[in-house]
Amino acid sequence: MTSSNKEELDNLLNLLQVEQLDAYLFRGHSPDQEWPRVFGGQVLAQAMYAASTTVPKERQIHSLHSYFLRAGKPDRPIIFEVDPIRDGGSFTTRRVVAIQDGKAIFNISISFQDAEEGFEHQFDMPDVPGPEGLISDVDYWEDVASRYPGKFSKRPPSFKAVDSRSINRRDLFDPQAEEPTQGVWFKAASKMPDEPALHQIMLAYISDMHFMSTSMRPHNISLGNSKIQAASLDHCMWYHDDFRVDDWMYYHMDSPRSSHSRGMNRGSIYTQKGKLVATTAQEGLIRLRD
C-alpha cells in the first residue's frame, strides 16, 4: 500500500459521503475531471449513502433498483431527496431522487433488512486465473495515455482508489467479436473502515466500472468508438452476504442479449474464497450513430 493509494481512497470515501442538509435532504459533489458527465457509479453510491443515513445501522441493504434519467454535470452539486416510504418490522424501504437544475437525473429504490438465518445455496465461482500477475487498470490506462496522447479522456481520478485487473482485456483499436463474458478482479487500493455500509456502497460504485462493455464483446466495436452513443439506463443489485471490499473480489459478467440499441448485462461478485456475495444487472444504451 502506498500513501497515494490511501489518499485516493480517502478522497473517494469523502466524495461518496454526501452532506446532510435536513432530515431527508442531502447534497453531493463530483471531482474535477475531463469526463463530460458524472460517473453513474458515483451517483448510485451517493444516493445509497444518503438513504443509509436515515436507516438504523443494524439494517443493511439487501437490494436496490435504480434508473439513470439524465447525464449528471460534474461542475454542479447534486441534491438527493430521500423519501422514507416504509419502516416495517424487519424491512425498511427508501426511495431517493437525485436532482440537478431542478430536474431528476437519477432515482433509486433501496430495501434494507435485519440480519436473518435461512436456506442457503449458490452457483460456484468460475475457474479463472487469480489476480496475481494481471496488469492493473491504472497501469494499463497510464500506458495507453502515454502511447496515444490526447486520444482518450483521462479516467476520473477516483478510479485510482480501486485496484481492478481484467482477465480478458479487449484490444481498444481492433476489437474482435468474442463471447459476451468478461471477468475482473478488484479491491480497494488500501484498507477500508470497518463500517459494513461503506463496503456495500463502495461495491456498488465499483460494480458500474466495467459492466456495460460486456454487451459490446460479441461485436467488432468497443464503447470507445465515436460511432457509439453509450449510457447506463438502469442498475440493480442484490446483496447476499457480508464481505470486505479491501480484500480481493471477483466480478464475473455476461450479456445474454442485446437488441433495440440496448445491451443487457448480468454480474456475479465473489470473494476470493468463492463465496457469492452480490448479484448485479444492468441495461445500457449502445446506439450506433451514423
pLDDT one-digit tens code per residue, 244-263: 999 999 999 999 999 999 99
Side chain identity at residue 182, one-letter code: Q
Residue 193 has pLDDT above 50, yes or no: yes
Alpha carbon 216 to its chain's center: 18
Q: Output the pLDDT for position 290.
A: 77
Average pLDDT over residues 80-94: 97
Which whole-number Å values give the CA distances from 22 to 17, 43, 69, 212, 217, in the listed order? 15, 19, 24, 35, 45
Q: What is the residue-wise DSSP string for 163-204?
A: EEEESSPPPSSSPPP--SEEEEEEEESSPPPS-HHHHHHHHH
Q: Give catalytic status of residue 66 as yes or no.
A: no
Rg (CA), the chain: 18
Q: Which of 42, 52, 166, 282 is catalytic?
A: 282
Residue 2 has pLDDT above 60, yes or no: no
Average pLDDT over residues 118-128: 97
183's CB contacts (< 8 A; 6+ apart) are: 126, 128, 166, 167, 168, 250, 251, 252, 253
Average pLDDT over residues 18-30: 97
Cell numbers 434494507 correspond to: 112
Lowest mean pLDDT among 46-50, 140-144, 237-241, 271-275: 140-144
Q: Which of 232, 255, 258, 268 is catalytic?
A: 232
Average pLDDT over residues 190-208: 96
Residue 78 has pLDDT above 90, yes or no: yes
Q: How far apart are CA 164 and CA 187, in angstroms?
A: 7
What is the percent of the chain where pLDDT is above 90?
81
Which whole-number Å values give the CA distances from 202 to 158, 182, 188, in the listed order? 12, 21, 8
Q: Output the pLDDT for position 3.
A: 60
**Are 280 and 255 within 8 A, CB to CB?**
no
**Which residues are 67's β-sheet partners?**
107, 234
- Residue 52 three-state SS: helix
Lowest mean pLDDT among 7-16, 62-71, 172-181, 239-248: 172-181
Q: Which of 137, 163, 208, 246 is catalytic?
A: 208
Average pLDDT over residues 273-280: 98
Largest Cα–Cα separation, the chain: 58
Fold of 3-114+130-288: Porin (2.40.160)
Q: What are phi and psi of 204, to 5 degrees?
A: -60, -40
**Which residues are 186's β-sheet partners?**
164, 249
Q: Give catalytic status of residue 232 as yes or no.
A: yes
Q: Give catalytic status of residue 208 as yes or no.
A: yes
Question: Mean pLDDT for the chain?
Answer: 93
- pLDDT tens column, 136-175: 999 998 888 888 887 776 777 788 999 999 999 988 788 8
Average pLDDT over residues 67-81: 96
pLDDT bin (cut points 50, 70, 90) of residue 231 is very high
Residue 125 has pLDDT above 80, yes or no: yes
Q: How far apart are CA 149 and CA 147, in angstroms?
A: 6
